[in-house]
Amino acid sequence: MRTNVYVMYGGQSPEHDVSLKTALAVMNRLDRDRYRVYPIYVEPDGAWRGGNELAECLDDVESLRLSSGERSSMGGILKQWYQEDRSNHVVFPVLHGPNGEDGTLQGMLEMLNIPYVGNGVLASAAGMDKIMTKRIMEQAGIPQTPYTAFTLYEWNKEADRLIHTIGSSIGYPCYVKPANMGSSVGISRCGDREELEASIREAFRYDRKIAVEKEIPGREVQVAILGNDEPVCSVAGEFERERHFFSYERKYSSGVLTKRIPARLDDEVYGRLRTMALQAFRALDGAGLMRVDFFVTDSNEIILNEVNTLPGFTENSMFPALLTYGGRRTFAQLLDELIGLALERYREKRVWRDGRAGA
C-alpha cells in the first residue's frame, strides 16, 4: 500500500516563493510507485487549498499556486486525515520561514498526532531563532562569532547606546540579521554607522528581535546532517563566490552559484567540523535533517555561523547536493530516507504516549 505524502508549501512568510521552488523539486522526485502525492498550498494571505493527487511531474512553480477548488481553513483541509488510518499518512512540510519552520506548524501536527518530516517543535523553534540558537550553542561550547542582540523596544528606547556598544564591541564591518528569518531575507552587511542604522531599521521590518554579528574573514562551509538518534554527517561543501554574503537574489535568482563539493578542507579540519556539526544537531535535539553552516578562517579556525532546520531543496540548494554527492544516494532515495525517519520518530513517540516505553 502506497503512503500518502502531503507536501505543505507556500505560507505567509517572505520566503513564500522559495518554498514553492523546494516543493516543486520534492514533488517531482517522490517515487509514485511508493507514494501518493498531494499538494497543500498555503496562500500568502493564509488561506489553505488542497489539491488532488499529483500522478505526474509538474512543469514549473506557477502550477503550484493552486487556484481551482474552494479556499478553506486548515481544519477543512486536514479533516480527511481523520477518515483513514493516519499511520499511512505523512506530512512533508516545506514552508520556509515563520509559521513553517519555526515550530508552529510542527506543534499543530503534534496535536493532530500526524507524522511529519523533519525537526520537532523544540529544534524547529530554537533553530529558527538565531539568538536562541546562539545561546544554546554557547552552552554546548561551540565557537561562534561575537554578537549582540536586542529587541525593537530596546532600540526605540536606547538606540544611541546600542549603536555605541556595537561600534566598540562588535566593530565594522558587521552583519545585521532578523532573529527569525532565513534565505538572507532582511540581512545586511554594514561598513559604518550610517549603514548600520539603516540596516537595523530594515531588519526590524521582519522581526521584533535582531542580532548584530562581527564579520569573520573566511570561507563559509556547509554540511548536511541526516538521521534521528544516530545522525550522519555529509561531506562538506561551499559556494564559490565573489561577494561578501549571499543576498536573497544571489541565492535564488541570479543562477550563477557554483558549488564546490567537497569543500577545500584537509581531513583534520573536516573531522573537527563534522564533530561540531553533530554536536550542534544533538544540542538542538534535531530529527530528520539539518544543515549546519560554519566559517573556516585562513588559519583553519572553525566558527559556527548558523543552523537551518528546514533547508531548501531547490536546484541551487546545498543540502540535497551534499547528501547525493558521489552517488551515495539519489534525490528520490534521500526523500525516502527522510520519510522513513519521520515514520520512525512517529512510532517512537506513540510508544511513549501509550505509556509503553521500555516495554
Distances, alpha carbon 81 to alpha carbons 24, 35, 330, in Å: 23, 16, 30
Q: Residues 6 or more apart from 18 whose CB is under 8 A from it? A: 96, 97, 183, 252, 312, 314
Q: Treating both helix axes as pointing N-terminal to C-terminal, what angle do 130-140 and 121-128 enclose, rounded to 10 degrees?
A: 100
Give just the sign of the alpha carbon dihedral 67, 71, 77, 79: negative
Query: Which residue pairs, CB below 8 angstroms and at least 24 apart, start in 267-272?
Result: 269/296, 269/300, 269/302, 270/235, 270/236, 272/302
CA distance 320 to 289: 11
| Candidates 19, 199, 234, 317; catalytic one | 317
CA distance 38 to 7: 6
Q: Give the SS3 label for residue 169.
A: helix
Q: Is 308 annotated as a binding residue?
A: yes
Q: What are phi and psi of 326, to 5 degrees?
A: 75, 10
Give how far the C-alpha of residue 81 lies from the chain's centroid of Cα atoms, to the nearest Å: 26
| Candidates 13, 19, 124, 183; catalytic one | 183
Active-site residue, 169 included = no
Active-site residue, 15 included = yes
Active-site residue, 213 included = no
Q: Is 293 annotated as a binding residue?
A: yes
Annotated binding residues for Mg(2+): 293, 306, 308
List the catalytic residues: 15, 183, 317
Binding residues: 293, 306, 308
